[in-house]
Structure 1
């Protein structure tokens, strides 16, 4: 967190490392909360921002996510864009070093570089649309052709955002039903004690009923180990499947100059004027875009207080987990406060936030919705 004893310049040079949800939510929040007191700088080698939740539906013909050019987003928010990657933080110098060996000074740094996905198992298919989409596409084609009627969806130990597995199970079940209704079988295996456990009791019960109605076999409380492309162990039993699809694991960025845990996730608690927001940090176990955006908003609120700008006296609380499941009957909106999920567990066919996007954010989602409206005019 920033050192309270250090006098900050006005305007404040705020460097944001990253180009994902947390980084762009922080950029939008700076413009909304302290528009005249900061000079924002965005450092990312990524050319476009892609709305990754839509990648879940892409192989099923639901459309590809739109790419939003980051140079336009930076310009709209008055930010300098540096097309590079941050590889080292130098807290004593208040600067970062980029992959291009440039030194970029900062007054306050927000590290929002996200995390890197990697396969949990040597065998089977890792569902990663950004780096290896062809493996899943081939499995889906085999399912459609009747060559692979039984598909197992695996949530490995260490995966904390499990909703994509449930969405995949629903979409694969619908795909199989449309091609070979009597033959297709989908099994979902997860270490969770109950379906979508993080969302609390009400959501778990509703999702369990939904999966049963779709004839999806669910095995909770198991720790799957994929042994071959068509066999796994779970709960002391062997299970065979024609195709096994597993969610990937995440690894933190391990930036030089910053403390990190065994998995590379960063802890900037004792680093003056450096904050971490989103999947790059170790502060929250669940790695999900909506939570990343809430962390970014909390960071900007702290920066605003340092600048003397109006801001809440305390960081926003509690953090709220939100998600959408697309079903045959339409979308289902899920919500729960992380500090008491059972008491706040909500499952609704009506939107519980606005705009009703898969990643709920205070400022980024309305901004992107505005871009969509402008593009249609």
Structure 2
């Protein structure tokens, strides 16, 4: 019997297990390891602070999401030992593997910024929404907020869903207007990027939207420390706040560092087309856990797994992997007041205006605020639980297409 061990039962890990369980030869056994027995729909965290989702809509038990016949272990991972082809769990249990898939994602690390976690303001005037608990506590803070300076802040890239801080800012603007306190609130968007996003066309569009909403953008803001209720950058710029909604540094799992498998952010270096480790021919890293130069988003996990499954079956059969992941990502961007945008891009092509997925028809509009994009984002939650995770077919191509896109704005 040959062993496939999958570390992580999040989006990428669950998809891989469900897809491979149906296609692996019978002499393969699948074991999944995750430290939690609850699966979280992380895009839903964005809506929890505004009361748009209930907690039970974003969290479900993990076991029913995985197929029968798969071994599921709830435990912390201590170390991967590539030379022995073993995974050592906390407590000493060892799991042998013939192939290993690392899909343990990234997590916010507020401890990496001086004064953020240890300055006495964490979950008092400093909050995050990239965790389930953080999003729920931020909901309470927003209910109590009566005006002042509200700062949305990103420590550094890469982060999970890089448009989420923009979405939070747009939704906060709409939320404050509904409460009648927008005129008593200064909204600030502090980013380490030179603009609102990473690519020129999207940066212009999103930056204009922030400007029209009266949001002050602080670009190239690289935070050195948090001093009480003030952000301090390396070039000594200071941004005081009454309420800070921060995206802490995102880092991969600590066991990746202990195992000597990661870079300085504990991300596993892989071939960006096959997702195979650059150092170990029997280890793959999927989803947010790898270092590929594209968005850390659920769509990337989806499209990359589409390519990975065929490649993996070729790989274990001793044949060359012929599939090439192109970095395809698409993300709905909530903009408030029941509207949203959609962006679609890959390694080589930036987000462009147009229609998706059908040229001229859509129904979704790229880089345009439309109600249909908002409804598409809300509908995705159903598709996530019922189609994406179970590995059922979704009629979207894994590779990005230029059909329907306009190269000039």
Going from structure 1 to structure 2, the CA distance change for 1:260 and 1:129 (only over 3 Å counts) comes to closer
Q: Aligned residue for 2:273? A: none
Partner SS for 1:88: strand
Q: Aligned residue for 2:213? A: 214
8 Å Cα contact 1:23-1:296 kept in structure 2? no
Shift of 1:47: 0.8
- TM-score, normalising length: structure 2: 0.74
Shift of 1:138: 4.7
Q: Aligned residue for 2:193? A: 192
Q: Aligned residue for 2:97? A: 106
8 Å Cα contact 2:109-2:248 kept in structure 1? yes
8 Å Cα contact 2:8-2:32 kept in structure 1? yes
Partner SS for 2:267: coil
Going from structure 1 to structure 2, the CA distance change for 1:116 and 1:290 (only over 3 Å counts) comes to same
The whole-number CA distance in structure 2 between the counterparts of 1:68 and 1:29 is 20
Partner SS for 1:182: helix
Query: Map of 1:235-246 to 2, 5 A cutoff?
Result: 237-246=237-246
Structure with larger RCO (C-alpha < 8 A, sep 6+): 1
1:21 aligns with 2:11: yes
Partner SS for 2:169: helix
Shift of 1:184: 2.0
- TM-score, normalising length: structure 1: 0.80
Structure 1 portions without partners, runs of 5+: 1-8, 371-377
The whole-number CA distance in structure 2 between the counterparts of 1:37 and 1:323 is 38
71, 78, 94: which one pairs with 1:80? 71
Shift of 1:62: 0.8
1:80-136 superposed Cα distances (whole Å, 9 cap, x missing partner): 212223322233332211113212222211111122321145246140433545653
Shift of 1:18: 0.8
Worse-matched range after superposition: 331-340 or 263-272: 263-272
Query: Map of 1:1-377 to 2, 5 A cutoff?
Result: 12-31=2-21, 33-34=23-24, 38-63=28-53, 64=55, 65-75=57-67, 78-119=69-110, 120-123=113-116, 125-127=126-128, 128-133=130-135, 136-143=138-145, 146=146, 148-160=147-159, 161-179=161-179, 180-197=181-198, 200-225=199-224, 227-233=226-232, 237-255=237-255, 256-267=258-269, 268-284=277-293, 286-308=295-317, 314-326=322-334, 327-341=336-350, 346-348=366-368, 349=370, 350=372, 357=380, 365=388, 367=390
Partner SS for 1:367: coil
Shift of 1:355: 9.8
Partner SS for 1:57: helix
The whole-number CA distance in structure 2 between the counterparts of 1:134 and 1:61 is 9
Shift of 1:40: 1.8
8 Å Cα contact 1:28-1:364 kept in structure 2? no
Going from structure 1 to structure 2, the CA distance change for 1:236 and 1:355 (only over 3 Å counts) comes to closer
The whole-number CA distance in structure 1 between the counterparts of 2:219 and 2:209 is 15
CA RMSD of aligned residues (A): 3.5
Partner SS for 1:301: helix
Structure 2 portions without partners, runs of 5+: 270-276, 355-365, 394-409
The whole-number CA distance in structure 1 between the counterparts of 2:197 and 2:290 is 23
8 Å Cα contact 2:294-2:327 kept in structure 1? no
